[in-house]
Amino acid sequence: MYDPKSMKAEEFIDHQEILDTLAWAEEHKADAALIDEILARAEQRKGLSHRDASALLACELPDRVERMYQLARQIKQDFYGNRIVLFAPLYLSNYCVNGCVYCPYHAQNRHIPRKKLTQEDIVREVTALQNMGHKRLAIEAGEDPVHNPIEYILECINTIYGIHHRNGAIRRVNVNIAATTVENYRKLHDAGIGTYILFQETYHRESYLQLHPTGPKHDYAWHTEAMDRAMAGGIDDVGLGVLFGLERYKYEFAGLLMHAEHLEAVHGVGPHTISVPRIKHADDIDPSAFDNGIDDDTFAKLCALIRIAVPYTGMIISTRESQAVRERVLALGVSQISGGSRTTVGGYDEEIRPTDTEQFDVSDQRSLDEVIRWLMELGYIPSFCTACYREGRTGDRFMSLCKSGQIQNCCLPNALLTLEEFLQDYGSAETKKIGQALIRRELAHIPGDKVRALCQANLEKIAQGERDFRF
Ligand code: SAM
């Protein structure tokens, strides 16, 4: 029985409820009056239920689909302005005991070299990332209680936060590791992590069991209930995601929104972020072996509808996607992107991009400086801001900042300050020129007089060598 408040995976992601939702959406997809009524509700910017959002996803009426895109663009603009937050993944270890059939790190893969970063390696990798200008990392690891126990992950986090190279510092470490216990989530929380990210991969239980035939990840309930344990362990900000291509996207979309509704119903706060990875070629992985790949148009529609259905949730896109696809979905709702990424274990400090231990092929291979310049040329403000989490604005405190409309007085100046730091310390001459003109223009858009004046004063201090101001 479907119950968003239940703590049991099979009740808050109820298979029958998803099937009923999809059937209802299919039945009403050409009902223009109903679609208009749902769109009118969506315009209130309070989100949509999985049922309503699924009807929009099924709808193919061209003018209504165009309205969905327009609304997604507007909501994106209202809630996030033109800021885009930057991060990079850091692969700690590809040792893994699981059998995920889409991932090259699966335990049966005998020819991929297995690597695990030592603390000395981490210093080299993070120094290289700091030299690019990164301030936020997402650490990634396979699941292996012997090679990658929680103590190893905690030691890595501690090392990362301790590295200060010239003006560099990693100010937020997000963590993408396998589902674990409340006790371990508490340890991650105490280590000062930002968001805990765990992709569901698929919400379809039967497919999940086949796609994860062996290892602890085989346990669907353990995996699906992980965010509740993370929250019980004190982690306020959790990041959801589906690996698109594994199952039918309409099923996944409904499941993802039901998961968000569950978190809201039980913990009073929805997911902090949603990631939208699509399956990619990798060492022994051929994406065409999976039947449910989605084309770029469907992908764009999904991103737009996630933006409309959960307006307060950040949306993340990685370098799995090409420059062209990234450009398209940035306008429709994506608020965070990675840049200059390497998906190998080690390799940030090497001149030539290594591919031996890559988790997936990287489509967007530009440097961080190139990504920053490109964003600015498209009219976006690249941001390295980490202020909310460092000021304790996590979970519902972050959500209330979004809802209060004060975000322009907080996020905009923080974006400008952290962009100025990037330009001063890491930007090429051309990027710096474009960036400083952008900062001058954008300063005028800070609504509060006091905040604007203080931001301007702090920008001058940054030019003189001071760092790390925030609102
Ligand atoms: N091992 C951890 C777990 O089980 O959740 C998390 C880290 S894993 C390194 C990060 C994510 O990469 C996975 O959750 C999966 O969705 C994604 N991934 C795995 N294989 C992929 C592929 N071939 N193409 C694209 N993404 C992939």
DSSP per residue, 398-443: HHHHHHHTGGGGTHHHHHHHHHHHHHHHT--HHHHHHHHHHHHHHH
Ligand 1 contacts CB of residue 243 (under 6 A): yes
Task: Determine how many CB atoms are found less than 10 A away from the CB of residue 159.
Answer: 17
Confidence of residue 408 (pLDDT cuts 50, 70, 90): confident
- Average pLDDT across the chain, whole number: 96
pLDDT (0 to 100) of residue 301 = 98
For residue 317, the CA-to-ligand 1 centroid distance in Å is 14
CA 452 / ligand 1 centre spacing (Å): 42
**What is the pLDDT at residue 398?**
81
Write the pLDDT tens digit of every residue in 11-57: 999 999 999 999 999 999 999 999 999 999 999 999 999 999 999 99
Q: Is the pLDDT of residue 407 over 80?
A: no
Q: Which amino acid is at 320?
A: R
Ligand 1 atom showing the smallest separation from residue 98 Cα? 4
User: Is residue 395 predicted with pLDDT exceeding 90?
Assistant: no
Nearest CA to ligand 1 atom 1: 142
d(CA 114, CA 403): 45
What pLDDT was estimated at residue 405?
67
Q: Above pLDDT 70, what percent of the chain?
A: 100
Average of pLDDT values for 361-387? 97
Q: Mean of the pLDDT values across residues 337-352? A: 94
Task: For residue 207, report the distance from its CA to the centre of ligand 1, in Å.
Answer: 16
Residue 416 has pLDDT above 70, yes or no: yes
Q: How many CB atoms lie within 10 A of CB 115?
A: 18
Decide: 175 in ligand 1 pocket, CB within 6 A. Answer: no
Judge if the beta carbon of residue 225 lies within 6 A of ligand 1: no
Name the residue with the closest Cα to ligand 1, atom 20: 103
CA distance 320 to 385: 23
Whole-prediction pTM = 0.97
Between the CA of 403 and the centroid of ligand 1 the distance, in Å, is 32
